[in-house]
Structure 1
Amino acid sequence: MSLTRAGVGLLIGGALGLVFGVLNGLSRLFEDLFDLPLQVARVVPFIALLPLLTITVGIGEESKITLIAIACLFPVYINTFSAVRDVDRKVVEAGKVFGLNRFQSSIQIIMPMALPGILVGIRYSMGVSLLALIVAEQINANAGVGYIIWLAQNSVRIDLIITGIIIYALLGVLVDLVMKGIERAAMPWKRAEK
């Protein structure tokens, strides 16, 4: 249950962060429209949104997944936006010389060059999803590692609390290993450089 919550929240938040990061990175118009509101929302701690989510979305699974998605959105957005903006414009200009239009340039030059930064954001968001999961599962949950820790706290079962913490740590290691595998598969040229 914990992995499902973290995964769905990461998928939603990461996808939104990726879309806004790419659009804002490629277009000054999108940046003018969306960057400031996203930056304002980014500085609000996601934990502070919990009472608002509870009132507006309820205390079910939706509020837990929404909290995780909000927490995951910003690391992906910031890294994607920066990575897209930091692509060397001389390379983009060279693509135009070879006849690439704006869309082709975005797909064939900008996105591959921005990929390392984007993957850093996704990797960071995977860790943040576990942090948000801990908070989310403390609220009216009836399953998951956080729920077990909460029950253990109420019955003063230190052994179960430590087991829950170890499970979270193992989930973090697992997530990191998965992300390293994704990075190796997505950027085979990095392996060749080593």
Structure 2
Amino acid sequence: MTVGARSRERARPEVQAAGTPSRRPGRAWQGEWIRWLVPLLVVLGWQLAASTGLLNPRVLPAPSAVITAAWELARSGELGRHFLISLQRAGLGILIGGGLGFTFGILTGTFRAANLLLDTTFQMIRTIPNLALIPLVILWFGIGESGKVFLIALATFFPVYLNTLHGVTGIDPRLTEMARVYGLSPLDTFRRVTLPGALPGVLVGVRYALGISWLALVVSESFGASSGIGFLAMDAREFFRTDVIVLAIVIYALIGKAADALVRTLERRLLPWQVSA
């Protein structure tokens, strides 16, 4: 083997290592622990302050009291029942609102006539608070499940719509022109150009929509509800059960974290070309 060949053979692993950085499992777990470091420190400080009497348990109970309340409600089956009902409401609202937001975002981003006809109306409706719509929602749908799902769908519609619209309009026009030159049909252009180009924006919209859906769920379960996590918190307020109220807040926070982690996983799977921070 010549000297030049030996040099190239020695340099090859270095180039490969520099070109394709590998993720070590230990570093991945270390990164996950760092993400949870601040919440764990907050909980520890909270427990310490409650144990030393710095916090009034009637105002803010200790984490141990919240865990005890969660265990009691879970053992009786009440927590699981309310959680599944809230999850069903939020899931149905996200499915309807997100699906419509994606559809109208594609339409208004692709066709100028649809943009001129619909976008101004959507922007006007977007600024109306959900709380201001509650009297109308009660008149339209009553106090049943339809009104609650409507509020969640309305709240999740706009993040998906705006980000989808931004993703479509941000596609390089040269790509669309190239698809037209190659004779791609409108369906193939959508599948090969529009959808991949808009997908990063769509996932950002879904990420925002999942967070906003739980805010809308709290609003929707504040009127005429007899089940759900929001109802559980409202009922606990009547009996001054601050441990149950804090438990409901913690559940909302954990669900938000789980939803965010789900979208991040989708981003890694569907957008492998993007470098994550």
TM above 0.5, yes or no, is yes
Q: Give 1:180 deviation, angstroms.
A: 1.2
Match of 1:119 among 203, 225, 228: 203
Q: C-alpha distance in 2, partners of 1:183/1:45?
A: 30
Which residue of 1 is the match for residue 170 of structure 2?
86
Q: Give 1:104 deviation, angstroms.
A: 2.1
Match of 1:134 among 209, 215, 218: 218
Q: Bigger CA drift: 75-84 or 43-52?
A: 43-52
Match of 2:247 among 148, 155, 163: 163
Q: Bigger CA drift: 136-145 or 72-81?
A: 136-145
1:55 matched to 2:139: yes
1:44 matched to 2:128: yes
Question: Deviation string for 1:89-135 (max 9, x for gaps)?
Answer: 01211222222233322221111011000110011000000110111
> Which protein shows a greater Rg?
2
1:2 matched to 2:93: no
Q: Bigger CA drift: 96-105 or 107-116?
A: 96-105
Q: C-alpha distance in 1, partners of 2:207/2:112?
A: 27
Q: Give 1:74 deviation, angstroms.
A: 0.5
Identical pairs, percent: 42
Q: C-alpha distance in 2, partners of 1:65/1:75?
A: 17
Q: C-alpha distance in 1, partners of 2:149/2:123?
A: 21
Give the count of matched residue pairs: 193
Q: C-alpha distance in 1, partners of 2:266/2:90?
A: 18
Q: C-alpha distance in 2, partners of 1:74/1:39?
A: 9
Q: Which amino acid aligns with 1:16?
A: L
Q: Secondary structure at the match of 1:188?
A: coil
1:65 matched to 2:166: no
Which residue of 2 is the match for residue 148 of structure 1?
232
Structure 2 gaps, min length 5: 1-84
Q: C-alpha distance in 1, partners of 2:115/2:125?
A: 15
Q: Secondary structure at the match of 1:189?
A: coil
Q: Which amino acid aligns with 2:86?
A: S
Q: Give 1:185 deviation, angstroms.
A: 2.1
Instruction: For CA contacts below 8 A with separation 6 or more, give which structure has more relative contact order.
Output: 1
Q: Give 1:186 deviation, angstroms.
A: 1.9
Structure 1 gaps, min length 5: none
- CA root-mean-square deviation: 1.4
1:29 matched to 2:113: yes
- Ranges of 4+ aligned residues in structure 1 off by more than 4 Å: none
Q: Which amino acid aligns with 2:129?
A: P
TM-score of the two chains, using structure 2 as the length reference: 0.67
Q: Give 1:154 deviation, angstroms.
A: 0.8
Structure 1 segment 95-106 matched on structure 2, within 5 A: 95-106=179-190
